[in-house]
Amino acid sequence: MPPTLCPVCGQARPPGALSPAELASDLKLGGHQRRIFMRLAEAGRRGASIAEIIDAMYLDDPEGGSLTAVNVMRVMVCHLRRRLAPTAWRVETISAYGYRLQRRA
């Protein structure tokens, strides 16, 4: 992944300095992965419940999404984790609740 340039000074910015929207754009996240990532970014340290993530995934679906939405969400989180691997961010599981976006130490 090429470095993102600062719009002000033109110098390369470290991966941890990107906003969630900029990182989603740089990683070319689309569809469900982008919606999951942005929902987790909005939720902050509290994280987002599985229901909140599914709601975000199927926001435009008048029927509320697939009957297998939980399975689809888990697969998308797995793919998102792989996409985030080279960055300063990771998706952390919150037992019996959902997920949160966490900056790597």
The residues spanned by each domain of the chain are: 31-103
Q: In terms of pTM, does the model score above 0.85?
A: no
The mean pLDDT of 46-64, rounded to a whole number, is: 92
Mean pLDDT of the chain: 86
Comparing 65 with 31, the larger pLDDT belongs to 31
pLDDT over 90 (residue 19): no
Q: What is the fold, at CATH topology level, of the domain defined by 31-103?
A: Arc Repressor Mutant, subunit A (1.10.10)
Tell me how far apart the alpha carbons of residues 9 and 45 are, in angstroms, rounded to a whole number.
Answer: 31
